[in-house]
Amino acid sequence: MGQNLKGRSFLALKDFTKLEIDYLLQLADNLKAKKRAGIRGELLVGKNIALIFEKTSTRTRCAFTVAANDEGGFPEFLGKNDIQLGKKESVADTARVLGRMFDGIQFRGFSHKTVEVLAKYAGVPVWNGLTDLYHPTQILADFLTLQENFGCLTGLKLVYVGDGRNNMANSLMIGSAIMGINLTIAAPEQLWPAREIKKLAQKKAVESGAKITITADPAAGVQNADAIYTDVWVSMGEEAQFAERIKLLKPYQVNKKLVEQANNPELIFLHCLPAYHNLETKTSKMIAEKYGLTAMEVTDEVFESDYSKVFEQAENRMHTIKAVMTATL
């Protein structure tokens, strides 16, 4: 089942085949078993890895760092104030400098164009840790979690509820279409996916047999779901839109009633995190005081339930990112 991905960048799932994604998931599963057995790896020995972060991060930063360390690599964190990326120096020039010093580059930031330019000029593999358009390393972790819970991906019904035009919805559409997962996006019409993303997903779905559905009705959308997935209602950089998003998305909150409408005792809940499910963060308290909500996209009852697999997902970021780095380096 081996696939030769050496030297490839990992910018979006649309650039990879079902076989290649299957390979990365199998490799991640093997690397996870190796780590659980306490076996130190050597697949990245001598490799220096640049981690560029325009946006803050918990899971992405820690997953890349620990994954590199586990296999003998040397990660170097480069925050937005540490380098001249796009300020005193063009992205292309920065790429050509870093590519001569590092063996691989991770980028997490805003514009997808930035990661594309890095990949074009660096001369080494570049990995997308998140852009406004796509979040492919998250989707690999999601798919590994689904695979661990259901044994396969093909034919599963995955329902994404909430903001249907953010990077998570985009990536889930493309990834599900490639892998043969039946994806339903339940979102208000104002937040439906962009036409070009939908068109690309439909094209991929024809090849895999997947069914891609977009609806404004969350109750109808979740019926017979194997997994319900949600994300924050306001993405990084959109904080000024809290009031508008809450008004639009309040009917799309994942709560016990919505879960029961799926009518599937084997259902699991997924979230890419962080989640506003209680009043334990500064932002959550602000939302409660200003808008009267004790939870936003998911209630605490669902988030803390036995069928919630969000922390398995979070751990799987590390194993799938390790697979991406070792396969491409």
Residue numbers annotated as active site: 108, 135, 138, 231, 272, 317
Cα separation, 38 vs 17, in Å, equals 32
Q: Answer yes or no: is 108 a known binding residue.
A: yes
According to the annotation, is 94 in a ligand binding site? Answer: no
Which residue in the block uniquely carries the two structure tokens 């691989």? 104
Q: Is 136 annotated as a binding residue?
A: yes
Residue 272 annotated as part of some ligand binding site? yes
d(CA 20, CA 202): 20
Identify the H or E element spanning 199. helix 195-208
Angstrom distance (rounded) from CA 172 to CA 181: 10
Buried b (16+ CB within 10 A) or exposed e, 46-85: ebbbbbbbbbebebbbebbbbbbebbebebeebeeeebeb
Reported as type and span, the H/E element at residue 244 is: helix 242-249
84 is in an annotated binding site: yes
85: β partners? 89
The response to whether 235 counts as a known ligand-binding position is yes
Q: Is residue 318 a known part of a binding site?
A: no
57 is in an annotated binding site: yes
Ligand-binding site membership of 59 (annotated): yes
Q: Which residues pair with 308 in a beta bridge?
A: 269
Q: Decide if 252 contacts 246 (C-beta within 8 A).
A: no
Binding-site residues sit at: 57-60, 84, 108, 135-138, 167, 231, 235-236, 272-273, 317
Binding residues for carbamoyl phosphate: 57-60, 84, 108, 135-138, 272-273, 317
Binding-site residues for L-ornithine: 167, 231, 235-236
